Amino acid sequence: MLDSTFDPQKSLATFRTQGHNIAHDWTNSGSEPAAGRTLLLFTCPGHVLLGIILVLSERRLWASAIAEALLPAVIAVVLLV
């Protein structure tokens, strides 16, 4: 059961912040920061491809395809530029 003080907006903001911290740690810290970038450059194009396949196979799931592919596409472009 949810606590009466549960705030979904605050929870989502915390989730985004933690995701940003994890991505930052993977790409900018440790003895091998290139390993984190390589991992992101390997997985992000895969998610973009999955989003394209989703939209081609089931057009009514276009919103899910955008959610699947948009952020990984942005991450891949940012890492490559």
Question: How confident is the model over 40-78, as pLDDT tens digits?
Answer: 889 999 999 999 999 999 999 999 999 999 999 998 898
CA distance 12 to 4: 17
Q: Are 26 and 40 in contact (CB under 8 A)?
A: yes
| pLDDT confidence band for 39 (50 / 70 / 90) | confident
Output the pLDDT for position 32. 74
CA distance 26 to 32: 9
41 three-state secondary structure: helix
Query: Quick one: tokens of 15?
Result: 């989730």
Could you tell me which residues come within 8 angstroms of residue 39 by beta carbon, excluding any fewer than 6 positions away?
A: 26
Q: Where are the domains of the chain?
A: 33-81
